[in-house]
Amino acid sequence: MLDSRDAHRGRARCGWPRLALAAAVVVSVVAASRAHAQLLATGRFVVVPEESRIELFVRDNVGGFRGRARDFEGAAVVRQTGERSFVADLQVSVSARSVTTGLALRDGQMHREQLQSDRYPTIVFDGMVTTDAARVIGTFPAMAHGRLTLRGVTRPVSAPVQVTPLPDGFRGSSEFELRMSEFGIPIPRFLFFVAEDVVRVTVELRLRAVNRS
Q: What is the pLDDT of residues 77-111, one digit of tens each?
A: 999 999 999 999 999 999 999 999 999 999 999 99
- Confidence band, pLDDT 50/70/90 cuts, at residue 62: confident
Q: Is the predicted pLDDT of residue 11 greater than 90, yes or no? A: no
Q: Is the predicted pLDDT of residue 20 greater than 70, yes or no? A: no
Q: Is the predicted pLDDT of residue 5 greater than 50, yes or no? A: yes
Highest mean pLDDT among 9-13, 33-37, 58-62 belongs to: 58-62
Average pLDDT in the 45-57 region? 98
Residue-level pLDDT at 82: 93
d(CA 1, CA 62): 104
Q: What is the pLDDT of residues 181-191, one digit of tens each?
A: 999 999 988 77
| Exposure letters 4-20 (e unless 16+ CB within 10 A, then b) | eeeeeeeeeeeeeeeee
d(CA 189, CA 1): 104
Residue-level pLDDT at 31: 45
- Evaluated on CA atoms 15, 17, 20, 24, the torsion sign reads negative
CA 146 to chain centre: 9
Q: What is the pLDDT of residues 130-176, one digit of tens each?
A: 999 999 999 999 999 999 999 999 999 999 999 999 999 999 999 99
Residue-level pLDDT at 192: 75
197's CB contacts (< 8 A; 6+ apart) are: 179, 180, 181, 187
- Confidence band, pLDDT 50/70/90 cuts, at residue 193: confident
Q: Is the predicted pLDDT of residue 6 greater than 80, yes or no? A: no
Report DSSP letters for 69-136, one per residue: ESSEEEEEEEEE-SSS-EEEEEEEEEEGGGEE-S-HHHHHHIIIIIS-TTT--EEEEEEEEEES---S
Give, in order, the Cα–Cα distances in Å from 199 to each of 19, 166, 195: 63, 30, 10
